[in-house]
Chain A
């Protein structure tokens, strides 16, 4: 009787210690799911979902605190891919007005920003707004967009005091 109690208790304690050591050694990580979700998102850091960038939005999606359909640049295709990857229901893309109300113009990967160089006053505000450093130009000088880097996120549009930036189709 005593032997049985001792054996069973020590067996349970030994297994418990082993498991605790294992869990210490292999810390649980949600990070790899967030990585995958972030990879599906366009990663243009446009913040139109209302989160500061794609990584925070991906984290919110994984934590199930944000719906899948807040990413206008990714379009319907991204919503579908996210839904398939996470095994959730695909909703239609939320209209841009419903999304945080950042830019009136929906961002699209197919567009790039173009600066009307005659109107630009060199205020440097758009350079600071650009999340991917695709606008070059120093103070009081004309600015221009590096087309290869521009993601069409439309974040440079609101700060421009003379409205000289427009989005145009990349392959027009």
Chain B
């Protein structure tokens, strides 16, 4: 149990996918203009991350290893992730049609979010158990969501500020993201997972 908590904490904060490992930067900058959109994106990506890490584990453990075709790992993970994204889009359009409309193109783009593939591959490299793999995915999702919400809140605040002319727009966003990343390196060394 403690191990699972440590995995979540480690994936969410210490080895945060966006700010420490620099994975999934596209939605990090693209979907954080508004807090609501960022929350929705965090939730959708979270669902995909958790689903994809579970399914990738199952596919590797029960299909690839028994049939001795582990060289197909990368490409089959991509297939699994595509299916997970499609499934999330279905759920979203059914349960939160408005959120589905707001997020629009960003939902299919989750499929190309390298954090999702990253989690699946890291799980497989570290040969985690099913529970550990799911918790790692959930932790990564939590960290991703936290970071998205943080940056979007900061960006909403910055909108009203008198930013010096050369720093306006993308520049101040990137500076903010960099400072956030520095802040997250403060967690460095808390956990070795």
Contact = CB atoms under 8 A, between A and B. Distances in A.
Interface of A: 3-4, 7-8, 11-12, 15-16, 18-19, 22-23, 26-30, 32-33, 36, 85-87
Interface in B60-100: 63-64, 67-69, 71-72, 75-76, 79-80, 82-83, 86-87, 90-91, 93-94, 97-98
Contacts, number: 54
B94 to A, nearest CB: 5
A12 B87 contact: no
Given A11-B79, A15-B80, A36-B98, A4 B72 contact: yes
Interface SS majority for chain B: helix
Contacts of A8: 72, 75-76, 79
Interface residues of B, number: 24
20 contacts: A3-B67, A4-B69, A7-B64, A7-B67, A11-B80, A15-B79, A15-B80, A15-B83, A18-B83, A19-B83, A19-B87, A22-B87, A23-B90, A26-B90, A26-B91, A27-B94, A28-B90, A29-B97, A33-B97, A86-B98
A36 B79 CA distance: 36
Contacts of A19: 83, 86-87, 90
B25 to A, nearest CB: 24
In the A-B complex, the 8 residue pairs with the smallest Cβ-Cβ separation, listed nearest first, are: A15-B83, A26-B94, A33-B97, A4-B69, A28-B93, A7-B69, A19-B86, A12-B79
